């Protein structure tokens, strides 16, 4: 299990990574202003909002409690963030469910999973790290959304400016952000579908911003729970040279490949399953290519599993399945562009 599957971002996305059929251009145009009706909202400079939020998350000291909710399920975590001598240090510990802890130093995450006796080390990606905003997320929000300034509300005892980020295409959801009025720190994030319904939300229920934080508070508390951890170190895509022989062409704007790997072969077959993951930093889509069973043809078309979109098609003797928390149009386009190199 990866860190990103346990620690979702609100852009899912969101610890999450992360809507049912392809939306026509006319339907999208009709519904584009449904989620959130600003009363006196004017278009604003997206870059300035996001840069302030990203800088605040990286350079401020803060401690607080975070609640992540998605489709009725909720997870609670405690975060301690310290910026000292140009180094970011952070610890996030779950408060409910199985014990789980992530310690971050700059862009390296160390995840402790005592139940599995696993210590996983991996680079931070765009789907991890609320309330941070990483370069990939900043780029996507700046290029593919327009921002509107709404009202001021209270979040965790702090005045927060509310922003609505509306997508400029059919590939992305709406995002509503609350930023602390004085510092710009991101206090709450909400992902909204085309019907105006909340898909997921992550928020501080309490937070203390500023002040001195002892280094001991960002050290792992679960490290001594297990005598011998099994270390699983993940590398970046640039450091690996896996080539499955598959690729997605004509990706939706802003989406790039973030991983490519082989999975174990299905029972009774010798060819491994290929998995490629594509993301715009806010949502992700995994594509699996597996050899079809002899005499069987994959059932082509779109479907829904829980909160994820699925699109399946047959390519030669392989069944290709795209699975993701993106909007239906993004999943469909990626699946239809998937092919042998």
pLDDT in tens, 224-239: 888 899 999 876 555 4
Structure tokens at 35: 């989620």
| Span 82-109, pLDDT tens digits | 999 999 999 999 999 999 999 999 989 9
Q: Could you give the domains of the chain?
A: 3-233 (2.50.20.10), 237-340 (3.30.200.100)
Highest mean pLDDT among 53-57, 130-134, 261-265, 268-272: 53-57
pLDDT score recorded for residue 70 = 87
Structure tokens at 143: 């290029």
Is residue 114 pLDDT above 90, yes or no?
yes
- 175 bridge partner residues: 165, 191
DSSP-derived letter for residue 17 is -
Is residue 40 pLDDT above 80, yes or no?
no
Span 263-292, average pLDDT: 86
Which is it for strands 246-248 and 338-340: parallel, antiparallel or unpaired? antiparallel
Least confident range of 10-14, 37-41, 174-178, 228-232: 10-14
Contacts of 239 (CB under 8 A, 6+ apart): none
Is residue 196 pLDDT above 80, yes or no?
yes
pLDDT score recorded for residue 30 = 31
- 80 bridge partner residues: 63, 91
**What confidence tier does 159 reach under pLDDT thresholds 50, 70, 90?**
very high
DSSP-derived letter for residue 228 is S
**What confidence tier does 125 reach under pLDDT thresholds 50, 70, 90?**
low
- Could you tell me if 85 and 61 are in contact, meaning their C-beta atoms sit under 8 angstroms apart? no
Is residue 161 pLDDT above 60, yes or no?
yes
Predicted model pTM: 0.81
- Could you tell me if 102 and 109 are in contact, meaning their C-beta atoms sit under 8 angstroms apart? yes
**What confidence tier does 6 reach under pLDDT thresholds 50, 70, 90?**
very low
pLDDT score recorded for residue 266 = 67
Q: In sequence order, which ranges of the chain are alpha helices (DSSP H)?
A: 3-6, 25-31, 46-59, 135-144, 328-336
What kind and span of H or E run contains 298? none
Is residue 9 pLDDT above 50, yes or no?
no
Span 129-140, average pLDDT: 87
Q: Which long-range contacts (CB under 8 A, 24 or more apart) does 237-246 make?
A: 244/274, 244/275, 244/276, 244/289, 245/274, 245/340, 245/341, 246/274, 246/276, 246/287, 246/289, 246/338, 246/339, 246/340, 246/341
Q: Which long-range contacts (CB under 8 A, 24 or more apart) does 312-318 make?
A: 313/338, 315/289, 315/339, 315/340, 316/340, 317/291, 317/292, 318/289, 318/290, 318/291, 318/292
Is residue 144 pLDDT above 70, yes or no?
yes
- Could you tell me if 335 and 243 are in contact, meaning their C-beta atoms sit under 8 angstroms apart? no
Which strand ranges, in their side-by-side order, compose the sheet holding 301-305? 256-263, 273-279, 284-291, 318-324, 308-315, 301-305
């Amino acid at each position: 299990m990866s860190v990103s599957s346990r620690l979702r971002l609100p852009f899912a996305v969101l610890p999450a990574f992360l809507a049912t059929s392809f939306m026509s251009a006319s339907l999208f145009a009709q519904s584009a202003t449904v989620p959130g009706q600003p009363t006196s909202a004017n278009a604003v400079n997206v870059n300035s909002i996001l840069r302030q939020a990203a800088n605040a998350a990286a350079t401020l000291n803060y401690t607080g409690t975070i609640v992540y909710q998605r489709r009725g399920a909720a997870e609670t975590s405690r975060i301690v963030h310290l910026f000292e001598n140009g180094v970011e240090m952070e610890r996030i510990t779950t408060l409910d469910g199985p014990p789980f802890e992530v310690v971050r130093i700059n862009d390296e995450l160390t995840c402790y999973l005592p139940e599995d006796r696993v210590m996983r080390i991996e680079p931070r990606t765009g789907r991890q790290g609320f309330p941070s905003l990483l370069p990939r997320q900043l780029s996507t929000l700046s290029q593919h959304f327009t921002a509107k300034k709404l009202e001021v509300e209270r979040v965790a005892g702090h005045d927060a400016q509310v922003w609505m980020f509306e997508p400029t295409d059919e590939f992305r959801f709406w995002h509503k952000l609350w930023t602390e009025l004085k510092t710009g720190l991101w206090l709450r994030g909400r992902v909204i579908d085309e019907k105006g319904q909340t898909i997921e939300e992550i928020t501080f229920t309490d937070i203390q911003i500023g002040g001195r934080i002892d280094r001991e508070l960002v050290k792992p508390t679960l490290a001594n729970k297990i005598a011998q951890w099994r270390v699983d170190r993940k590398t970046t895509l640039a450091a690996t040279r896996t080539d499955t022989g598959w690729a997605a062409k004509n990706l939706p704007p802003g989406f790039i490949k973030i991983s490519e790997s082989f999975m174990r072969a299905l029972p009774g077959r010798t060819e491994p399953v290929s998995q490629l993951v594509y993301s715009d930093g806010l949502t992700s889509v995994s594509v699996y290519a597996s050899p079809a069973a002899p005499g069987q043809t994959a059932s082509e078309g779109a479907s829904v599993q829980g909160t994820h979109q699925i699109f399946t098609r047959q390519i030669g003797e392989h069944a290709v399945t795209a699975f993701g928390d993106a909007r239906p149009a993004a999943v469909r386009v990626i699946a239809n562009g998937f092919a042998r190199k």
